[in-house]
A and B are shown apart, each in its own frame.
Chain A
Amino acid sequence: MNKNRPVNLDISTIKLPAPALVSILHRISGVVLFAVVALLLCMLDSSLESEQGFNKVAAFFTSVPAKLVLWASLAALIYHLVAGVRHLIMDLGVGESLEGGRRGAVIVLVLSVVLILLAGVLVW
């Protein structure tokens, strides 16, 4: 293997068309979600422990900073799920062309924004 192949993975010099934006956000949301698992386990633990524990979790999420954390976590989950479903659909051979890839990426971005806003309404 030629070790001196030219490479450019310097993200700061790469333009981000919609499919690239979808891809990098998929990675960022994935990393965020790995940390969010701790929050989910914490919530599951308290909520199943006792009625007081359940109410404590519910009460905790009445404060604005807690709501923001919850909304951000839901946003990461929603985005990662929508972008992941696009991957599964593309694995079935749908939308694999250059134009299909672009269209799929735009659909992912629009659909996620709508669902994330909806989740925000539900959190508040």
Chain B
Amino acid sequence: MVKAVTGFGRSGLYDWFIQRVSAVVLVAYTLFIVGFIFLSKDFGYASWSALFEQRWVRVFSLVALISTLAHAWIGLWSVVTDYLTNRMMGGKATVLRILVEVLLGAVAVFYAVWGFEILWGV
């Protein structure tokens, strides 16, 4: 059996589970933000910044961002594993796939640090 060394949860079952849990978090967060924008009477800088001054909103936002990155990692792993294959482009596909995954991982880390900096204001 092939070991999914670049998978997120170390096994397909964990990946499946993380994918679902993060999806539910992201649906909740999307509805929360969209709901806030539409339901606030005078949506503007004052109400928007007041929202993010609350700690639970920052925590919820950070959890949503981390969910996004875990969710994206699993999804992007599936995509590169399906399309950047040895069958399609020979042995160099493995090298290319690893490079792409490293690059995507770097972007994910960058997003996480950036998001944390925004939410906890540097």
Q: Which residues of A contact B (CB under 8 A)?
A: 7, 9, 27, 30-31, 33-34, 37-38, 41, 44-45, 47-48, 50-51, 54-55, 77, 81, 84-85, 87-88, 91
Give the residue name and chain of the A residue nearest to B69 (CB): A37
Asked if B9 lies at the interface with its beta carbon under 8 angstroms from chain A, I say no
Partner of A88, one of B20, B48, B78, B79: B20
Q: Which residues of B contact A (CB under 8 A)?
A: 20, 23-24, 26-27, 30, 44-45, 48-49, 52, 68, 72, 75-76, 78-79, 82, 87, 104, 107, 111, 114-115, 118, 121
Secondary structure type dominating chain A contacts = helix
CA of A93 to CA of B72, assembled, Å: 25
Q: Which residues of B contact A88 (CB under 8 A)?
A: 20, 23-24
Q: Known contacts being A30-B72, A84-B23, A87-B23, is A54 close to B45, with CB within 8 Å?
A: yes
B118 and A44 form a contact (CB under 8 A):
yes
A85 and B44 form a contact (CB under 8 A):
no
Known A31-B75, A31-B76, A37-B111; 9 more pairs at CB < 8 Å: A34-B76, A41-B118, A48-B49, A48-B118, A51-B45, A77-B30, A84-B27, A87-B23, A88-B23
B27 and A30 form a contact (CB under 8 A):
no
A33 and B72 form a contact (CB under 8 A):
yes
B20 and A91 form a contact (CB under 8 A):
yes
Q: Which residues of A contact B48 (CB under 8 A)?
A: 47-48, 54
